[in-house]
Amino acid sequence: MSETANRETAWAAAGAAAAALVPDRGSVGLGTGRAAAAGVRALGARVAAGLHCRAVATSVSTTSLARELDIPVTRLRDQLDVAFDGADIVLPSGLAVKGGGGAMVRERLVADRSRRFIVLVDAPKVGSSLDEWGYLPTAAVAFAAHLVMDRLSDLSPSRRPGRSDDGLAIIDVHPPAGADWTAIDARVRATPGIVDTGLFELDPGNVFVGAPDGSVRTLAGDAVRGPE
């Protein structure tokens, strides 16, 4: 099996385990990215089999996928039963970087409104240092983008083309090797014009690590049962 196929199998396993946690008549937050999409497809299969739920999507692309699968999509209002998403890299401690797809503002809002926030990864996404990823995505008010880049010039900021689904500028900053990412994150957040960053502190027990053999374990090492 190719590396791509192995990873897709791992994401599908983790996604199915997360989708199995959505209760009937419940609510779910849907993340953005390839691993999250695997969870959305698994949820779609449950909906097709008779599950009733309502979903809040974190991006235009996820909204489109959910609607293709007949998953009812609504706005973020009340607390959600569960949400699942992916990550760009996560450490064994649970410190993670998200936002490679530029959707971290909505992703954090959904995570904060969820009783349980699940992050779906495979083994290559588990690292020993955030330096392996190399950059911290940030979302800034477009009007302030040049100001933000000037203030953070020592972090080699680079602005991505276009804007996020919310009209925000996405600026990637590059902490130097060996830097304290938490301290840098605090500095970035204090910069006028910054709306959010992609640094997340996760519960290792809520990080589902899928494997090519279809098994799923949490980052804490506990086995996760898949759907019955």
- Lowest-pLDDT range, 67-76, 105-114, 168-177, 218-227? 218-227
- On whether residue 228 sits in a domain, the answer given is no
Same structural domain for residues 205 and 100?
yes
List 3, 68, 107, 228, catalytic entry: 107
d(Cα 98, Cα 107) in Å, to the nearest integer? Answer: 9
What's the domain range around 81? Answer: 3-126+201-218
Same structural domain for residues 184 and 90?
no
Label residue 226 by pLDDT band (50, 70, 90): low
Respond yes or no: is residue 68 known to be catalytic: no
Q: What is the 3-state secondary structure (H, E, C) of the chain?
A: CCHHHHHHHHHHHHHHHHHCCCCCCEEEEECCCHHHHHHHHHHHHHHHCCCCEEEEECCHHHHHHHHHCCCCECCCCCCECEEEEECCEECCCCEEECCCCCCHHHHHHHHHCECCEEEEEEHHHECCCHHHCCCEEEEECHHHHHHHHHHCHHHCCEECCCCCCCCCEEEEECCCCCCCHHHHHHHHHCCCCEEEECEEECCHHHEEEECCCCCEEECCCCECCCCC
Label residue 51 by pLDDT band (50, 70, 90): very high
Mean pLDDT, the chain, rounded, equals 96
Confidence at residue 86, expressed as pLDDT on a 0 to 100 scale:
97
Conformational region of residue 33, where left means phi above 0, alpha means psi within -120 to 50, and beta covers everything else: left
Report strand pairing: 207-210 vs 199-201.
unpaired
Confidence at residue 103, expressed as pLDDT on a 0 to 100 scale:
96
Same structural domain for residues 36 and 112?
yes
Same structural domain for residues 19 and 88?
yes
Confidence at residue 67, expressed as pLDDT on a 0 to 100 scale:
98
What is the mean predicted confidence (pLDDT) over 110-120? 98
Q: What is the CATH number of the domain that holds 9?
A: 3.40.50.1360
Label residue 82 by pLDDT band (50, 70, 90): very high
d(Cα 19, Cα 28) in Å, to the nearest integer? Answer: 9
Taking only the tens place, the pLDDT of each residue in 133-146 is 999 999 999 999 99
Sheet-wide strand order for 207-210: 53-57, 26-30, 82-86, 117-122, 207-210, 216-218
Same structural domain for residues 26 and 117?
yes
Cα–Cα nearest to 141, from 157, 163, 112, 111: 163
- Give yes or no for a contact between 110 and 74, defined as CB atoms under 8 angstroms apart: no
Q: Kindly report the length of the chain.
A: 228
The CA distances from residue 103 to 50, 61, 113, 195, in Å, are 30, 10, 16, 12
Confidence at residue 228, expressed as pLDDT on a 0 to 100 scale:
54
Same structural domain for residues 115 and 207?
yes
What is the mean predicted confidence (pLDDT) over 201-207? 98
- On whether residue 226 sits in a domain, the answer given is no
- On whether residue 227 sits in a domain, the answer given is no
- On whether residue 190 sits in a domain, the answer given is yes
Label residue 225 by pLDDT band (50, 70, 90): confident
Same structural domain for residues 51 and 148?
no
Q: What is the CATH number of the domain that holds 168?
A: 3.30.70.260
Same structural domain for residues 189 and 90?
no
Same structural domain for residues 102 and 14?
yes
Same structural domain for residues 111 and 177?
no
Cβ-count burial of 161 within 10 angstroms (0-12 exposed, 13-18 middle, 19+ buried)?
A: exposed
Confidence at residue 177, expressed as pLDDT on a 0 to 100 scale:
96
The yes-or-no verdict on residue 227 having pLDDT over 90 is no
Same structural domain for residues 107 and 192?
no
Q: How many domains does the chain have?
A: 2
Same structural domain for residues 110 and 138?
no
